[in-house]
Chain A
Amino acid sequence: MKDYIPYIIFGLTSGAIYGISAMGLVLTYKTAGVFNFAHGAVCAAAAYAFYDLRELQGLPWPVAAALAVLVFGALLGLILERMALVLANVSTAYKIVATVGLLVAIRSCIVLRYGAEALPFQPFLPQETAFRIEGVRVNYDNVIDLLLGIAAAVALFVFFRASRLGTAMRGVVDDAPLLDMTGQSPAAVRRSAWIIGSVFAAASGVLFASVQQQLDVNILTLLVVQAFGAAAVGLFRSLPLAFVGGLAVGLLQKLAGKEVASHAELQGIDTNMPFLVLLLVLLVARRQQLVEVGRHIKERAVPPSPFPAWVRTAGFAALTVFILLVPQIVGTKLAFWNVTATQVILFLSLGLLVRTSGQISLCHIGFAAIGAAGFGHMLQHDVPWGLAVLIGGAIVIPIGAIIALPAMRLPTLYLALATLGFNIMLAQYAFGKSYMFGFGRLDARRPDVWGMEDDKRYYYLLVTIAFLCLLLVLAVERSRLGRLLRAMSDSPTALTTSGMNVNVTRVMVFCISGFLAGISGALYASLFGSVNQDSFNYLDSLVVLAILAISGRRTITAALVAAFLYKGLPGYVDTIASALGDQDPVQVQTCLNILFGVLAIAAAALSQGQFQNWLSDRGTVWEERSSGPRELRYQTVVAARRAKRPRTETDRSDELVGAGSGGRHG
C-alpha cells in the first residue's frame, strides 16, 4: 500500500486540476451549447500570461495570478461569448470547426510570441512538506491544489442550485427566448457562464503549468482532452461529476503509470487514461444520455454553382493544364507539390465523410498513419510497391468500420470526441509499438521502376493516383450510395422510415474514407524514404478539418485548395517572408496558421448563409425606405384581385385614396 501513496497524492493533485478544467468546459457547453475544443488553448494562454507577468514583467506572483486568471481569463470568456453567439445557429460540425479554428489561432499566437519550445516554469505554491502519510511527504502545493478544486466544485454546485443567476443558467439551456421573455437577458447569463468557465480554465492552466514545472504549449493545449475524459464521467452535463471524473482520471493515470512501468507492451496506457475513460463512456452510456445540448441545426445545402457550365468546364480545363505543367514551372518547389498531391487524396476522403455524408472525423491523420505503417511493413515483406499501397489503404478499412460503430449511436459532437480520442490514443500508444512505427523509423520508398526517384516523374504518378481517387469519389457521389449518403446527411430518420439501413451506409462511407486516407498516408510515407512516430501529428487531424472548412464546399475544388493550403503553401512561406521584407519564415508560417484559424471561425459563422440572409433582410428595409409605404402598393393589388374585373385608371386612384385614408379601422 505504501508504494502507492505517492501516486495517489500526485493523482489527486493533477486530478483536481483536470476537474477544475472539466467543470469550466461543462459549464460553458451546457449553457451555450458550444463544446469548446479551444478550452485547453484558454488554459495555455492564461498560463503563458501568468509567466509573462511574473517572469518578464517582474510582478509578484499573487498579482500575476490574479491578473492572469481573473482579468485575462474573464476577457477571454467575453471573447468566447461573442463567438458562441455567432455560432448559435450553425450546425454542430461547424461549431466544432470554429472552436478548432480558435484552438489553432490561440496556439499559433502563443508560439508567435513565446516560441514552440517548452519554457521552465517556477512553481509558485509553497513546496514545503505539509504532513506525512505513512512516511510519504505531502507538500503544501498538493494540498492547496486539491482544496482549491474541492472548493470550486462545491461553490459551483451551490451557486447552480441556490442562486438566481445559477437557476437562470440552467434556464437558458432549456429555452433562451423564454428566459428573455421572462425578464432576464440570455446573453448576459451566457456571458457570466463563459466568464466563469474561462476563469476556471485559466486557473487550471496556471496550476497545471506549476505542477509540470514547465510551459509547453502542446501539453497545456491538450489539457482539454484530459478534461474531455473527466467531463464524460458526468455525461458532459453534471458539474460535480465532472470534478469527480477529473479526480478519477488523475488517479487512474498515476496508478496505471506505476503498474505499466514494468510491462513494455502496456507502455503509454497511463497517459491514455482520459481517452480510455472517454471512449468507455461513449460506448457504454445509453444513447438517450448522450444528446447534444441545444437545438439541432441542419446544415444548409450547397447552393448551385453561380458559374454557367461552360465557365466551369473551361476552369477545370485550365486547372488540368496547370496541374500537368506544375513540374515545368515550380522548379525547386516540386517536393511540396508532390506532398500536396498525396494530400488531395486525404481531403477527398475527409470531404466524402464530412461534406457528403454529414459525419465527422477528427482521426484522419490517424487513418493516414495506419496506412503508412501498413505500407511500410508490406514493403519490408517484399510486396510489390503498388500492391503495398493498396494494402496500406485496405488495412484502414476494418479500422474505419470500427470507428463507424460509435458513429451509429452517437450524435456528431460525441462522434468527434470519440474519433479525436481514438487518434490521440493511436498516437500515444500504438505509434511507438513495433507493429506501427516502433521507436526508430519505418522505411518506405518509391517504386523502383521508370526512374521514379526523379521528382518530376513521381509527380505524374502521384497526380494519376490522386486523379483515380477523385474519380472514385465522384463515382460514389453520383451513385446510389452517394444519394444515400446525402440523404443520411439531411435526415437519418427520413432515410430509416423509407426502409433503408442507415448503419450499413455509415459503415460503408467510413470504410471508403478510411481506404482513401490510408492510401494518402502510404503515398505520403513513400515520399520521404522513411517515416517515424512524429510524422503524423494528431493535432493535424484538427487542422485538416479547419482547412477543409475554409476551402469551399465543392468536392473537387475543396480537395485541391485544401491540399494546397495544407502542404503546398508552406513551400512558399520563405518567398512570402522575403516579399514582406525579410521576415522570419517560421513566424510567417505561424501567422498563416493564425489566419487559417480565424478564417475557419469566419467560415463556420457564415456557413448557414448568414451573409445572404442579412443582405436580403437589409434589402427589405431599404426597399421599404426608398419606395414608400409598402401597404399602399400591396393593397392596390389585393383590392384589384378581389374586384375580379378589369381595372381602370379611375378604380386605381380610388383604391389608392381609400387605402391611404382608411388603412386603419376603428
Chain B
Amino acid sequence: MFELRGIHAAYAGTKVLRGVDLVVPPSSVVGLLGPNGAGKTTLLRVASGLLKPTAGQLVVDGKDLTSASPHRLVDHGVCHVPEGRGIFPSLTVRDNLLLQSVKGKENEAAEKAVGAFPRLGERMSQLAGTLSGGEQQMLALARAYVQNPRFVLLDEVSMGLAPKLVDEIFEFLDLLAKTGTSLLLVEQYVTRALAVADYVYLLNRGEVVFAGEPCELDADALAEQYVGAGH
C-alpha cells in the first residue's frame, strides 16, 4: 500500500498542493489526471521523495517515509520514471542499465531489459543520448522492470512519442501490472489511462476533485475540469 496523506507542497512559498490524499493499493493501476498546472508532476515529485512536502505524510506499507530521500524510497520498492526521458544521455545503454540494476545483480539487469525491450539489445554500447525518443523511453522504462519495484510512478511516459510506440509502451505497462506491480499513472491520453486504470484521481488546482472508479467519472465533468468551464 502506497499512501499520500494530506500532502501540502510549495515551491519557494508558492503553494502547489493543498491537502492531497491518494492511495495506491497493492496490485492496482491508479490513474492521476488533471489539466496543466494541477500539480500532478509535483505530486509525483513528492511521492518519490524529490520534493519534501510542507505538511502531510508519505506512507509505504505502513512505514512513514516522508523524510526519506529518493534513493531510500527505491529501497522500499518505489520507482519513479520522470517526465521527459529518465536516462543518462552521455552514458552508454549498458552503463545506464548498470546503474538501474539492483546491487549485486548487475549482470541480470541487461538480460531482463533486453527481454522486455529486445531493441535495447542491439544498442548496448551506443550512447543513450543518441537513441531515438522511443528507445530512450524504453530504456527509462526498463528500470520499472529491472529493479523489481512494487510501486511504479510514471509521469507522462507517452509524451512526444509516435502512436505505434505508445501502443508498445502501454503493452509493457499492461504486462508490468499483470506481474502484480502497482502503477500510478500520470497520462495525457485520458481515455487510454481510464481504460487501464482501476482507480482514478482527478486533480485540479492542487486538490483532489474526484476520486473513484473510472466508470463513475462522467465525461462532461472531466471535460469541465480540463477546460476550466464553470469557474
- Report A's interface with B, CB cutoff 8 A: 164, 167-168, 170-171, 173-175, 177-185, 613, 616-617, 619-621, 624-625, 629-631, 634-635, 638, 641-642, 663-666
Contacts and interface: CB of A to CB of B under 8 A. Distances in A.
B153 to A, nearest CB: 9
Interface string B93-112: 00100111001001000000
A617 B54 contact: yes
A181 B89 CA distance: 16
Interface of B: 6, 8, 10, 12-13, 15, 18-19, 21, 48-50, 54-55, 69-71, 74-75, 79-80, 82, 86-91, 95, 98-100, 103, 106, 143, 147, 199, 205, 207-208, 210-212, 230-231
Contacts of A625: 55
A540 B210 CA distance: 64
A171 B89 CA distance: 9
Given A171-B91, A174-B89, A665-B212, A180 B71 contact: yes
The 10 closest A-B pairs by CB, nearest first: A631-B19, A616-B13, A666-B211, A183-B74, A180-B70, A665-B211, A174-B88, A666-B212, A664-B21, A171-B88
Nearest to B96: A171
Contacts of B86: 178, 181
Contacts of A174: 88-91
B19 A629 contact: yes
Contacts of A181: 48, 50, 70-71, 74, 79-80, 82, 86
Contacts of B71: 180-185
A244 to B, nearest CB: 21
B1 to A, nearest CB: 15
Contacts of B79: 181
Contacts of A638: 205
A642 B209 CA distance: 13
B98 A635 contact: no
B144 to A, nearest CB: 11
14 contacts: A164-B106, A170-B88, A171-B91, A171-B99, A173-B90, A175-B89, A180-B50, A180-B71, A181-B48, A184-B99, A620-B10, A624-B55, A630-B8, A630-B19
A184 B75 CA distance: 10
A617 B10 contact: yes
A624 B211 contact: no
A183 B70 CA distance: 7
A115 to B, nearest CB: 45
Contacts of B90: 170, 173-174
Contacts of A620: 8, 10, 13, 15, 54
Nearest to B129: A174
A621 B207 CA distance: 18
Nearest to B9: A620
Contacts of A617: 10, 12-13, 54
